[in-house]
Chains A and B, each alone.
Chain A
Amino acid sequence: MSLVAYTLAVFILATAVATALFRDVLSAIVVFGSYSLGMAILYTLLLAPDVAMTEAAIGAGVTTILLLLTIARTTRPTSEKIFERVNLPAVVVVSAFVLVLVSTVLGDMYAVGDPAAPVWANTEVTQYYIQHTYEDTGVQNAVTAVLAAYRGFDTFGEAVVVFAAGVAVLIVLKREVFA
């Protein structure tokens, strides 16, 4: 992990906390958009361009636009206070939980890109896809091959879920046409 990645991680944490703390909805949405953008850059640094593109397009783009549109269509309460009141007992409990989690789990985690990590080294799953994808399917992007061929049925379910989301919005808004 380089200095850039650590800086990004701090930025992501800061924007995540700011999203929860801002009282004004518009400020929270703008900060949340920058959080998604930070995540997208971090995914790129961790060599996951497919996930980064999704995060940039859906997380930073579409979600921000939909949230902005929603507050434009509803009321936006004004307040002199900038930040939400912090519930101290809740902060203590959450901090203690995070501390326990970090101290117990983080030590056992493999470094990023460690060839000995089980997720990389196992021959049944990861190495099988890396070695056989091209001769099995004829495509060079293993992610696409897993999505569309090896896990094609799951992807069909996913596509139907996206379709159902569109229909659900129509039902919630009591509308009968898409446009």
Chain B
Amino acid sequence: MASDTSESFDDTYTESQVILTAVKIIAPFTLTYGLFLTFHGADTPGGSFQGGAIIGVTVLMLAFAFGIEPTRQWLSNTALVALVAGGVLIFLSVGLATILLGGAFLEYELFESVLGIPGGTKWGMEAIEIGGIALIVAGVVITLFFATASGFTPERRDSSEVETRPDGGLEGGEKR
């Protein structure tokens, strides 16, 4: 993935051996820590807001090391939409499921009393923590980063030789 700077149209990227090595070592640990916070948040400090943010930051670290554009192309838009919108849908459907079982919104006790799942309250909370909030937060952190990173850049440098920028990003686009 380490790309040549002359071919890359990401003009803020410089390939640094220090950053690459550091990220390669740290990234597995931050991802594990983020997953730990998310999955173990019910019994230890932390939770899916924090865990989701750290999972998202892992992707941001990869983007810093390997260049924003290659990382952006490696991620697909469908996956990010699935993360963010899927998280909201899972959260909402857990809440609506308890209404369908005859209770109030997010009344987890019904998972145990009606469906007979032992520890239903805890599993319901884990469902909205892991399946809802963590996905939304991780997805939105990645989304904010890549939307900001690519929002001001020309779409393709090699698509046209003329120095034009799409939809009026003229003033802000010039480098210092």
Residues of A bordering B, CB below 8 Å: 49-50, 53-54, 57-58, 61-62, 65-66, 69-70, 72-76, 78, 136-141, 143-145, 147-149, 152-153, 155-156, 159-160, 162-163, 165-166, 169-170, 173-175, 177-179
B67 to chain A, nearest CB (A): 13
Select one of A143, A145, A163, A165 contacting B85, CB under 8 A: A163
Minimal Cβ-Cβ distance residue in A for B95: A156
Contact of A139 among B43, B46, B85, B128 (CB under 8 A): B43
Q: Is B102 an interface residue, CB under 8 A from the partner?
A: no
Interface pair B136/A163, CB less than 8 Å apart: yes
B25-52 vs A, Cβ < 8 Å mask (1 yes, 0 no): 0000000000001000111111101100
Please give me the residue from chain A that is nearest to B71 by CB atom.
A179
Interchain CA distance A76-B136 in the complex, whole Å: 32
Whether the pair B88, A160 counts as a contact (CB closer than 8 A) is yes
Interface positions of B from 122 to 161, Cβ below 8 Å from A = 122, 125, 128-129, 132-133, 136-137, 139-153
B50 lies within 8 A of A50 (CB): yes
A53 close to B50 (CB less than 8 A): yes
- Count chain B residues whose beta carbon lies closer than 8 angstroms to a beta carbon of A: 63
A143-B47, A152-B95 known; A72 and B12 CB under 8 Å? Answer: yes
**Known pairs A69-B145, A165-B144, A178-B84. 9 more at Cβ < 8 A?**
A50-B46, A74-B172, A137-B121, A139-B43, A141-B41, A145-B125, A155-B133, A159-B88, A179-B79
A178 touches B146 (CB 8 A): yes
Main SS at interface, chain B: helix
Instruction: Report the bound CA distance from A66 to B53 in whole Å.
Output: 13
- The answer to whether A70 touches B146, judged by C-beta atoms less than 8 angstroms apart, is no
- Bound-state CA distance A57–B60 (Å) is 12
| B105 close to A73 (CB less than 8 A) | no
Closest CB pairs A-B (n = 10)? A49-B45, A173-B151, A152-B106, A139-B42, A178-B80, A57-B53, A138-B122, A53-B50, A166-B140, A73-B152
Given contacts A139-B42, A152-B128, A162-B137, contact A73 B54 (CB under 8 A): no
